[in-house]
Structure 1
């Protein structure tokens, strides 16, 4: 069963969450029960596929052993080589998932949510290396974090320290009531986005484009219409799913971070990536871009800080592109956004020196207009229609 894919899924989780809600409104912990229902929901999600179930179990066991082993090692030593090996091992199953389909072997491995569990696992290793995670972690709690069912398939990507704090906190009855109302509100927003707006856009416009079924559209106009409709569909569909995940998480007492914050009102491309798929963009920023820049600065192989920063942007968005898939349109999509970020950074530095672009409501509106169209063209590349 696909998470949040049909009304049956919502009926099941609504019934299973009743004890969670009653315990929360009584000011009591529902931690153990939430772990139990997570197992039940995971069984429902993955139970239809033996291959998927076996892959999930083996993959999770592998990541648990890897994380716990590295944590024990880190208490005694701090070899860079061991750290690199641990990160490579954590990523390796995801690499297989991306590469095997090219070889025609996609049925041998992989399951829904492998990417997001990998991101969490790599995060645990990186933060253990940095000394941010020192305390001994319960295997059950770690597994709960990796397999937290509201976000397991498509995020948002949470951070262990934030998740653990929520997991250990028992909110008062009044505080839980606020969480419950907030969660229900997010779920209703999800229904509006995913099952109404995204549904209408897809079924009444997108399926007819860009092959201009509408007689009054030229082929060029059909592609332009597709570009904008696809962009809105992508937002409402994914933002709707994310709202469901955040809403259910809050009902379970976990304040999973939001993934979208009015991205189409971004005033520039940097602002856009602080609003769009935020948990993913922040993950790549913190664990790829920042580490690459710090590493290159330490090695002093390239002295120009802007060159280092731009190489970091190319690495970040290239990886973000191929994470979606190894097809050309995903690679080009990533590199396109790297070019946008770098171009805007150059413009910002130029304007800081020459002050030709003042900050006022008019330039703000123009910035939103330019960013919106640049982003929509990026989604057009992402859709594969350009190739």
Structure 2
């Protein structure tokens, strides 16, 4: 049975490739550089525009895998209090998130006067800033301050829902009894995964809530237990059943990607040579800082878009080069955010004070905003 680990080079590489796909999806989706460069590679641009976002499913599966390792690696909750576990998760997510939002608000204010394009966020209102800071923007009907930040809010919801499931399982009498080598908590996760894959994920109006995405997240959790099991056949059969029925009921490419990713993790991490492989170092390093790159890349791409499309708005080649420059700068800024903020959170109290400072600075930068 392979040792449990939340940090392996292979997982970091998977996160890195998903991160690259998301950054290029947003480069294709948010012009105007992509609009100008489109004639050079119309098929590639169209694919990135339409299908690049499916890489989010990879993040969801990996997040579920890591959540299982954190919350219940042996099928029983190992945290003491729901609020404490969720609070730690919020702090970890929200500190670099607040820093990235601050940069996005500043860049948006800088380019707004001279770049008239739908990709430029409007001047934020006070309620919008507060909702985004608390990761509630989609739930209260406020616009997001940056591209892709909806995922951070969903990640927190998914973690909170998972922790709630494990807390409920612990309160029900008989949770120490195992049926078919599956604990009650694991059974509840399987049921929630089925409900999401078969029902909730087919309701687009629920896409601001965790239940819409729990299918991919739950498959990731199941993949962790499959990796740790003495025999993985039962878990793999269950994953195939959940995903296969979902695809028969309503084929969705995102669910297929989630299913293949979860099965791929099981196969790779149960293979000794792949599990012990140190990977391709640049991809491993990118995977480690992928969250920071994900957070900061929109601000970088927005600034490069403004400069390149304004100076060379008739040159497809230079705008394509500008997209490449934006990608490289996104990696560089992500590295700065990773080392300067994400890794420097010694305690949740320090993190909360730091977050409040970033929010205050963001409000100052947002003046003049449309106060509501």
Normalised by the length of structure 2, the TM-score is: 0.28
Normalised by the length of structure 1, the TM-score is: 0.27
